[in-house]
Structure formats: C-alpha cells, structure tokens
Amino acid sequence: MRGGWIALALLCASCAQAPDAAWPPGLLLSASRPALAGLLAALEELDGTPLARTAQAWQSALPECAELEAVAPDGDPHALLASLRCADPQGSLAAFHRERGERDLVLALPGEPGHRATAQAQLDGAAARIELRWPALDGQLADVLPGDEPAGPDRLAVASRVAHGRARAAGPLDLAAWVPRESQGDRLFHLRDRMLSAALLDGTLEVALYQPLPGAAMPRSAAALGVRQADAARAAAERFVDQIATTWRLRRAPFTSETGDGACLPDLHVMPELAPCYALARDALIVGWNEASLRHALASVEGAPGETALPARFDVDLASLRAADQALAARLGREVVPLRWPWRRFRASAERREGALEVQLLLEPERAS
C-alpha cells in the first residue's frame, strides 16, 4: 500500500512540473517547412523593409525537409537563423516538438521553466492565426497591460476608421508615473499632472485613426481615456491646457459640440496640422490631433463591433491604411509608392488567463490562398 502512495506522489509531482522543464535553454523554433515558407513569401512582399530582408534571409536558409528546428542558447535571433536545420524527433528539442503538436510553428523565448513566453501559429500562405502567451508578468508594466476585466463598448466614432484599439489595464492606469521627473515632457507639458494619474483614470484607453480629409496632410486621430469623476477630470484638463498655453504663450479656444465641450490650442504647430483639442464626453476625456479629428471622433459610435467582453482588442484595415498613405503622398507631392500589404486586415485581442497574458493575432490575406 505504501508503494502505491509513493507512486501516486511521484505521478502528482510529474504533473505539477512546468511543461517547458524538458526544453533546452535559449530561443527555440519548431516549424513545418511548407507553412513557414508560405509566411516568409508573404513577408517578402513588403518590399524595401527590414522585415522583407529578414524574410528573404530565412527563405534562402530553409533546408529541404518537411520539419524544421532551430535553437539559439544565448537568445540571439541571428544565431537562431544560423542554427536552422532539419528536425530531429529524438534530439534535444524532442519535448518541444511534442508540445507543438498539430500546429505549424512554435517559438519559445529564453526564460526559467514555467515563465517562458511562447508563440504558436497556424499558417496558410499569407493567412496566419498566432497565439502569444507571456506568463512572467510583474512590476509596473504588468499593471498597464490588459487584465481580465472587459474593456467595454467603444467611445470613439466608427465611420472612416483605419485603425482602432480599446483596452482596460489590469491595474491602475497611472500614465503620469511613466513620465520621468524633470524630463522634457515633465517640464514642458506637465505630464505628471493629476490629469494622468490613477486616481482620475478608470483604466480604459481607446485610440482611433481615421481617413484624412480631402487636402489634409495628416490622417485624423483621437484617443479616449476613461475617467472616474467627470468634474475632477474637467478641472484637471483645464489646468493642463492652461499650463501649456501659459508656458508656450499659446492662444486657447473653446470647443463645443452636442456630445461634449472642452478646449483647443489652435496655434501649437510643432507637427503637421497639430492643434490639439479635448472634450469631456461619454465618461471619457477625448483628445483629438486637431479640431477636425475631435469632431469626427465624437460622432456616432453606431456600427461598433458588438464584442465588448474582451479586455483588449485592436483592428487595422490595411487596405484603408494604404489608401490613406496614397492620399497623403499625393497631397505632399511626393513620389512615394505606399507599402502594399499582403494582408487586408490585422486583428488582435488580449486577456489574462491564470495570471498569464494571452494575445491572439489574426492576419487576413488580401486574396484567398
């Protein structure tokens, strides 16, 4: 009977062991050659970019075998490429290959067992579904990354979106703490002001990029910071705008709309068409690149995605992004060929599970593979 209890204890101990305990240290890769080659071919279409050059180097290094592996003990990506070889099912990466299972690719970053970040992917030509898992979360960064609470419904307008993201931080969203004391941002913009403190912000952040207006040199853009108390948020925002206006001797102008009121700094031209405006609306402090950006962002959110349960979501319409690049190049009179993406859309979502951050990435190809 005693022997049975010992066997049971050993079994439980083996079950409790981290699944990556048998993996060798360093940066690891296990992949299907055809699947990896298809993704690399898509990346090579990004002509003139570092990503395309890296994909070309990997494509030329692929050995002629169905299954691949690579290991860089020191975590150097260049060493990983140099070690690319045909997979050995009985070799040092045997446990890592078993972990990959039916997936097309698995990548593991260096780290202690049970705390290694991993990426796994299902690939079909340019189409890719990628899952990232980052278990070792701690410190200030862990607080600002998405948690397990829903981000909630959109606050920024849907029409003409090129890119959009919304997230709720796992902990207090204390943006002021990220601005170093006595830095340029601290001195000139007073970014350590209470407007960006965790006491005022509710932890939600939303950003949106919109198609540029005809004749504009920049796309429209806006950000929304959820606030806990509207009156306190308005007072902090007014103090913030007044400080910038006084420091730089800028004129401030009132902003009014049916959705919310605020103020603008129409003479702050440190970047093209930058004349920031803010408004307090929809339980959020909404800031636009300029007045046109803010007015558009405050328009109807009708048609926003129904998914509000995710702690973080991000969506880029790459076809619209290329159209915006073309319009801006024509406006600026530059002979620039906008990047042609092999995908039409990029989607991402993130949430915490058992303390680990899990990110889902989806690349939708421009044309069916």
Delimit the domains of the chain by residue range: 19-128, 149-341
CA-based radius of gyration for the chain: 25
| Contact yes or no for 324/211 (Cβ under 8 A) | yes
Helical pair 50-61 and 33-44, crossing angle rounded to 10 deg: 150
- Measure the CA–CA gap between 201 and 79, rounded to whole angstroms: 44
pLDDT value, residue 15:
41
Count the Cβ atoms, other than its own, within 10 Å of residue 50. 8
pLDDT value, residue 7:
39
Segment-wise mean pLDDT, segments of 10 residues, the chain, 369 residues: 40 50 96 97 94 97 97 96 97 96 96 94 97 88 90 94 96 73 58 64 95 91 94 89 87 96 92 94 94 96 81 95 83 73 96 93 82
pLDDT value, residue 185:
55
Looking at residue 46, the DSSP 8-state letter turns out to be S
pLDDT value, residue 288:
97
pLDDT value, residue 207:
98
Cβ-Cβ contacts under 8 Å for 12 (sequence gap 6 or more): none
- Measure the CA–CA gap between 40 and 104, rounded to whole angstroms: 13
pLDDT value, residue 6:
38
pLDDT value, residue 193:
54
DSSP symbols for 54-102: HHHHHHHH--SSSEEEEEETT--HHHHHHT-EE--TTSTTHHHHHHHTT
pLDDT value, residue 8:
35
φ, ψ for residue 245 (rounded to 5)?
A: -60, -40
Dihedral sign of CA atoms 268, 272, 277, 283 in order: negative
Count the Cβ atoms, other than its own, within 10 Å of residue 344. 17
Rounded to 5°, angle at Cα 57 from 54 and 59: 110
